[in-house]
Structure 1
Amino acid sequence: MTPTDAPGTTDTTASTRTDTRWHLAGDWFDTCKCNIPCPCAFAQPPTYGDCDGILAWHIREGNYGDVRLDGLNVVLLGSFTGNIWTGEHTDPFAAVFLDERADESQRAALGAIFGGQAGGWPAQLGEMLGAEMRGMDFVPIEFSLADDLASWSVEIPGKVRASAEALSGPTTPKGARVQLHNPPGAEVGPGQIATWGRSTADRADAFGFQWDHAGRSSKHYPFDWSGPDE
């Protein structure tokens, strides 16, 4: 997935070097069309055979060479049919939103990392998905996450709204989180822990994506990436 391939966008990665050392750590979550728990986390086909969803990243701390990226956000809209983890998927489409607060050098860095040119996990995931980009935009992104992982949300006014509450039930201890260790299909890469949630909002209306799902699967992961690959 390459944001700079999107129609009508400018090439924000032209001035970046693919051998620049970088590191990002933060929080990721999604809301999607699937029932709880989303089968994608188990490397299985989507509940209904196809899926569309909202993916959101908040960078707690990060750098691309000397460029600091702390506090910036990224949102992706995506859709596909079939199992992405086995390569048996079709019709993958995506659109990317980058934080409008980023200055020119930060925009170039985010474009290089999330576009895959800087290597690391985003490059691996992008190569596996092979999604066709519908567009990219720099927008205000409001991201929130409860310290105890009780809830999470992201909003791009007029375009995207995703929120969820941590999954619970009659046998879940109060304040405990329903989690999955070593998921076989983690969108943030290996070695992280999924915290399951139920979406309270999952709405998109941008770049030809349009849906309104609620009450379905959501999950939170921390992420910790670096690149380029050795």
Structure 2
Amino acid sequence: MTNVKDWWMKGDWFDSCSCDIPCPCEFAQAPSDNRCEGFVAYNIKEGAYGGIRIDGLSVLIPGIFYGNLWAGECKMSVTMLVDERATSEQREALGVIFSEDAGGFMSHIFSTIAEIVAVEYVPITFEIADDLTWWKAESPGRAKAHVEALGGPTTRPGTLVQTTNPPGSEVGADALATWGKSKVSQVSTQGFNWDWEGQSSKHMPFDLKGPAPAEVWFEEA
């Protein structure tokens, strides 16, 4: 890691994948059928890289892996969909933050990626209900997810199905995961193609920073 400026970002994160509900990966286990395909979505409410603000920008990351990622059995193959509204300075900043060079927790996340197939600058919309009853994101023609919060016959009305301190958290320690069920979960870009419905999703807020080293979040293989 060379000349990485201090950075921070806060916002909303969610995934939408092929796993059964609840996604075993969030509990640091192998995915359903030992295969996970889907995408993660970051909406940066506010943040900065050095003096460059990155407020309001989004990044979608479609990817696939086979095996228990947390146990070091595999690594991901992904593509990066970056908000086209980002200026050249903001694109450079996001390129550092969303990389293994970032420092902090993002370095740990990107250490699990074997291949970034492509980086595309594309239109992205990200929406989330104030009461967390639904969330969705889309890059037209490339990736789309619309998720409703999970409920069931014994879920008390007006409450959410949530997990605290999940052992496979993609946003760091002490996370709060709100579980959902996909109505739409589609990817069609750079050789990644799938169309799922009724599968697992979870929303988590994130509050990340670097480049100072972060607490290790899993046992090194």
**Normalising by structure 2, what TM-score?**
0.93
| CA distance in structure 2 between the partners assigned to 1:225 and 1:162 by the alignment | 24
| CA distance in structure 2 between the partners assigned to 1:150 and 1:53 by the alignment | 21
| CA distance in structure 1 between the partners assigned to 2:156 and 2:4 by the alignment | 47
**Cα-to-partner distance string for 1:92-151 (whole Å, 9 max, x where unaligned):** 210001100010110000000002322111111111x13211111000000000011000
| 1:191 Cα offset (Å) | 1.2
Write out aligned runs for 1:104-183 (5 A).
104-127=88-111, 129-183=112-166
1:64 corresponds to which letter in structure 2?
Y
SS in structure 1 at match of 2:25 = helix
Query: Which residue matches 2:196?
Result: 213
Q: Which runs of 5+ in 2 are unaligned?
A: 214-221
Alignment partner for residue 97 of structure 1, among 64, 81, 105?
81
Alignment partner for residue 187 of structure 2, among 192, 204, 208?
204
Alignment partner for residue 45 of structure 1, among 30, 33, 36?
30
CA contact 1:43–1:83 (8 Å) conserved in 2: yes
Alignment partner for residue 173 of structure 2, among 190, 194, 199?
190
| CA distance in structure 2 between the partners assigned to 1:32 and 1:19 by the alignment | 32
Number of residues paired by the alignment? Answer: 213
Alignment partner for residue 47 of structure 2, among 57, 62, 81?
62
* Amino-acid identity (%): 48
Alignment partner for residue 73 of structure 1, among 58, 83, 86?
58
| 1:19 Cα offset (Å) | 3.0
CA contact 1:37–1:217 (8 Å) conserved in 2: yes
Q: Which runs of 5+ in 1 are unaligned?
A: 1-16
**Normalising by structure 1, what TM-score?**
0.90
CA contact 1:18–1:117 (8 Å) conserved in 2: no
CA contact 1:28–1:221 (8 Å) conserved in 2: yes
